[in-house]
Amino acid sequence: MTRSTRTTRKTAAALAAAALTAMTLAGCGSGDGPGAAAPAGSAADLDAALEEGGELTYWTWTPSGEAQAEAFMEEYPNVTVTVVNAGTATEEYTKLQNAIKAGSGAPDVAQIEYYALQQFVLSESLLDLSGYGFGDLEDTYTASTWSAVTGGDAIYGLPQDSGPMVLLYNQEIFDQFGLAVPTTWDEYVAAGEKLHAADPTKYITNDAGDPGFAQPLIWQAGGRPYQTDGTTVTVNLQDEGTKLWADTWNQLLEPGLLADIPTWSDDWWKALSDGTVATIVSGAWMPGIMEGSVPDGAGKWRVAPLPSYDGSAITAENGGSAQSVIKQSENPALAAAFLRWLNSSEESVNVFLENGGFPSTTAQLNSPEFLAEAPEYFGGQQINQVLVDASKNVATGWQYLPYQVYANSVFPDTVGTAYTASSDLNAGLQAWQEQIVSYGDSQGFSVNK
Amino acid sequence: MAINRRIHPAARRGISVTRPRKSVAMTLLAALFLVYALVPIAWLVINSTKTQPDLFSTFGFSFGHSFALWDNVVATFTYDDGIFVRWLGNTLLYVGLGAGGATLLATLAGYGLAKFRFPGRSAYFAVVLGAVAVPGTALAVPTFLLFSQLGMTNTPWAIIVPSLISPFGLYLIWVYTVDSVPTELLEAARLDGAGELRTFFTISIRLLAPGIVTVALFAIVATWNNYFLPLIMLSDPDWYPLTVGLNQWSEQAAGVGAEPIFNLVVTGSLITIVPIVAIFLFLQRFWQSGLSAGSVKQ
């Protein structure tokens, strides 16, 4: 599992994704707009469908997916839910696009990350759930996750989890090198310099170029590089906020203060275990993953609010998924009923929490037991208080591109080259923008016109 | 390679094909290649004995704190209700039907083209030669679209049917037939009253055995390692071959809800290469004689 085979594999997958999404998207932009056909149904239809029963297929890579489906079938014995892990993230989207393109084989309900949702909305693959009275569920979720699944009056899914960004830091390393927990990015850069100067094998964090990481940080810095209105798209990866992030991150990248380890690689898991990286900037779901998969970090790590530019508490969303009903479903009312149970019932969300997930539902986020949890792994710190605070301070107004999956797939070829050369990120962002603009134009969008 | 009747100077010095001169440089180069080929396998063997925490915390070419090979093997076969066993069975199915069928078709077609005269033969020759040059990966997306129109994606047929085509195997059998099946022999069989099919199955196929084994090996390796086509054709993990399944396990280490199982990925990879190594060792003598086909003019 060397880095080069990983890159080849990613490239191959990206090629497949690019080739197939291109064909799927080509048809959009004509015909009726997304969400034009809200189903004529009501909340009562859902209960009737549950009573009548049937079979559903549910694509997810969430670890608790199987257990949630089992709990559901126990409660509604007439319904059979088949859980399929069709791949993680992009792998699943490629398969989903393929099945939609093929006209059959798509699941009834699928997990889709927030950043990729617009792409499926635009290709008219998702059922608008507003007709089933899902609008009443708005108050169930945090504002930022609800806005991620809605467009105008249409509702394209229900939020599963959320990822307000926080800072995880290795207290042991911080103590050893006399570092204070940074509250601003300037302090963070200074801590990075101090740590690497004291021990050249240690880094403040790793970043080998990852669009799923850069974009939330741009979001936090106030950048709003993408604006979409129908098929009119505006892209500006040099707006004030984006430049602010790039200029700050340049101070870490150019002097070599960032470990050149791709996040999620085997090297990265190793770096979390052996203290090579002292902090992780990540979504609120990360502590659960650390606890489950980095046993060597037990007792060492703590959670703090994300550093900001002015010391304020502002943060952004990193990752997180919704579940949506695919239009191909032959039993949309039943699929919607399952989805409603899956992402809003207490039973289901509790199963999700037991598996270390971080919820998007305000009832769970604000429950006293949840806030009082003090996991040993984090030295008894009441980490959920930090995480829930972050969920309340997510900056508003962020939009992803309607073809974000493609855009992310060309990030390594553009911004990634700046990472490889440890050179100015702004140049890489400009190159990325050019690719985003020309691809959008070729797909029938009107970009920056 | 024409055989020189005059005694070569080298032969006088006691150097012959069976006793070649030893070259230090060539030996070193070959040794280097050997190391290059064996190092990844050594890594795989060593690391399949480690637990996941050991994988993250110990040096790649030394053993970990515990010896967990057996635990890893058991976990590999039982993880997620034994999905790995299912993937192994799928791979065997695709190899059996795909590579087996490809070998049969290539043998029949290559033999026919070599020994029968019919109109359009040179056009066929050109098409086959052209097809040899097109990598399967380039055809994967068009093949996908074709199969999706037939409604056959996400079925085993989507993997087996494309695997049946082996232009390279056809070409190899063709060349091999020209050299190893004397036309005089076929004419003698015909004079004795044997039909074409009988001639093929009783006489020609025996003469072709080394060539057939070579083609079968190529096809088995290609189908066993087939990754890109099943990746885009299949969405149901129940039909995945080992390659795509292992990749799914590896991808599981990424993103929200990540559950890394690198120890199972490593052990699963080791288990995946064992059968292919065994097939190579078992069939290598056929492989060698097959590869030299056509290199000596009789």
What is the pLDDT confidence band of residue A152, given thresholds at 50, 70 and 90?
A: confident
CATH class (in words) of the domain with range A13-162+319-365: alpha beta
Q: In A53-208, which residue ranges form alpha helices assigned H by DSSP?
A: 65-75, 90-102, 114-122, 143-149, 171-176, 185-198
Of the candidates A205, A209, A193, which has an alpha carbon nearest to the alpha carbon of residue A422?
A209
Which residue in B has a C-alpha nearest to residue A291's C-alpha?
Answer: B259
CATH number among 1.10.3720.10, 3.20.20.300, 3.40.190.10, 3.40.640.10, domain A165-316+397-447: 3.40.190.10
% pLDDT > 70, chain B: 89
What is the pLDDT confidence band of residue A56, given thresholds at 50, 70 and 90?
A: very high
Q: Which CATH superfamily is domain B83-291 in?
A: MetI-like (1.10.3720.10)
Task: Count, in order, helices (H) and strands (E) of chain B.
Answer: 16, 0
> What pLDDT does residue A24 have?
42
> What pLDDT does residue B219 have?
93
Shortest Cα distance, chain B CAs vs residue A325, angstroms: 17
pLDDT (tens digit per residue) in A319-369: 999 999 999 999 999 999 999 999 999 999 999 999 888 999 999 999 999
Q: Which of A16, A212, A357 sits opposite B257 (nearest CB)?
A: A357
* HSE-CB for B26 with a 13 A CA cutoff: 4
Residues of A in contact with B151 (CB under 8 A): 102-104
What residues does each domain of chain B span?
83-291
- Pairwise CA distance, residues A404 & A226, whole Å: 10
Substitution target in A82, A264, A300 with the highest count of B β-carbons within 10 Å is A264
A319/B255 touch (CB, cutoff 8 Å), yes or no = yes
Q: Which of B53, B151, B251 sits opposite A88 (nearest CB)?
A: B251
Q: Which of residues 57-116 of B touch A (CB under 8 A)?
A: 57
* HSE-CB for B244 with a 13 A CA cutoff: 31
B248/A85 touch (CB, cutoff 8 Å), yes or no = yes
Q: Which of B137, B231, B257 sits opposite A61 (nearest CB)?
A: B257
% pLDDT > 90, chain A: 80
Q: Which of A98, A274, A319 sits opposite B235 (nearest CB)?
A: A98
B237: contact with A, CB 8 A cutoff:
yes
Same fold, A13-162+319-365 and A165-316+397-447: yes
Shortest Cα distance, chain B CAs vs residue A360, angstroms: 13
**3-state SS class at A325:** strand
pTM: 0.82
DSSP string, A261-313: --TTSHHHHHHHHHTSBSEEEEETTHHHHHHHH-GGGTTTEEEEEPPBSSS--
**Longest CA span, chain A:** 67
**Contact in structure between A364 and A353 (CB atoms under 8 Å):** yes
**Contact in structure between A72 and A81 (CB atoms under 8 Å):** yes
A84/B237 touch (CB, cutoff 8 Å), yes or no = yes
> What pLDDT does residue A14 have?
45
Chain centroid offset of residue A143 CA: 16
ipTM over 0.90: no
What residues does each domain of chain A span?
13-162+319-365, 165-316+397-447
A4: contact with B, CB 8 A cutoff:
no
A283: contact with B, CB 8 A cutoff:
yes
B231: contact with A, CB 8 A cutoff:
yes
- Pairwise CA distance, residues B190 & A422, whole Å: 75
> What pLDDT does residue B12 have?
57
Q: Average pLDDT for residues A281-305, to the nearest whole number?
A: 94
Residue whose entry in the numeric block shows the structure tokens 């859980």: A83
Mean pLDDT of chain A: 89
A104: contact with B, CB 8 A cutoff:
yes
